[in-house]
Amino acid sequence: MSKLLEGKTALVLGVANRWSLAFAIAGAYRREGARVILTYQSDRQRQTVEELGEELGAERIIACDVTQEQELEQLVSTLKKTAGKLDAVVHSIAFANREDLSRPFVETSRSGYQLALEVSSYSLVAVARAVAPLMSEGGAILTLTYLGATRVITNYNVMGVAKAALEACTRYLASDLGPGGVRVNAISAGPVKTASARGIKDFSKVLDGVAAKTPLRRNTDPEEVADTAVFLASDLGRGVTGNVIFVDAGFQIMGL
């Protein structure tokens, strides 16, 4: 039986631990035959990502802080020498100051707003611009978003605004890169117990509330998100670009 990503090379940014959606996606890509390359942000994360990469069977681990242009340039230089080309890129990177997630949105600091937008949204633009030349044969760029981009989610605050910008970036990048055969999409996953999600105040209450109201009466499984990421990176998703695809057990269709 052929594998959906056989012969493809995928770059996955944002594998922080085994509970992250990026880890689940990288594992699904490997299952479907892709060569997987991971990045880590700083020396503090290096050992953890190297251990996860070994577990996943990743081909290479490369340092890359997406807020630093020189590191993106070095990433591309390394990829040119080692991989030659890319077929899929997963952007699973987001950050906001904890204090800006725990107080009313109107009290968001200027510096906190700028930081959340740069790391969580602009970084997709920077990554896409850097890697596009390596996708000369076309390919897929994927990012991860959340319902808080379009609806007010308690305590999501500035991250919701950053995700709204991320979704707009997805559409504009899809338009710019489409003529070269590069598709750009976002997956809006339901709440999942990731390390970053635990930074949101009262997150366990969100999980309980969502599970009670979704049509499927449960929370989102990371493997469901990963399988959707496989579809988007594979030839099965060749006609899909500029979209936000919900993988949230149907929660986004529900009213009060």
Find where tokens 């529900």 sit.
254
Q: What is the pLDDT of residue 75?
A: 97
Q: What is the pLDDT of residue 206?
A: 75
- Span 138-160, mean pLDDT? 96
Flag whether pLDDT at 229 surpasses 80: yes
Q: What is the pLDDT of residue 203?
A: 64
The yes-or-no answer on residue 29 being catalytic is: no
Fold of the CATH domain 9-244: Rossmann fold (3.40.50)
Centroid of chain to Cα 29: 14
- Span 11-24, mean pLDDT? 95
Q: What is the pLDDT of residue 154?
A: 87
Strand partners, 184: 141
* Nearest-angstrom CA–CA distance, 176 and 156: 30
Q: What is the pLDDT of residues 180-196, one digit of tens each?
A: 999 999 999 999 876 56
Annotated catalytic residue within 29, 40, 113, 146: 146
Flag whether pLDDT at 197 surpasses 60: no
* Nearest-angstrom CA–CA distance, 145 and 105: 19
Flag whether pLDDT at 199 surpasses 90: no
The yes-or-no answer on residue 146 being catalytic is: yes
Annotated catalytic residue within 29, 113, 156, 172: 156
Q: What is the mean pLDDT of the chain?
A: 94
Write out 25-65 in H/E/C secondary structure: HHHHHHHCCCEEEEEECCHHHHHHHHHHHHHHCCCEEEECC
* Nearest-angstrom CA–CA distance, 228 and 21: 12
Q: What is the pLDDT of residues 64-120, one digit of tens each?
A: 999 999 999 999 999 999 999 999 999 999 999 999 998 999 999 999 999 999 999
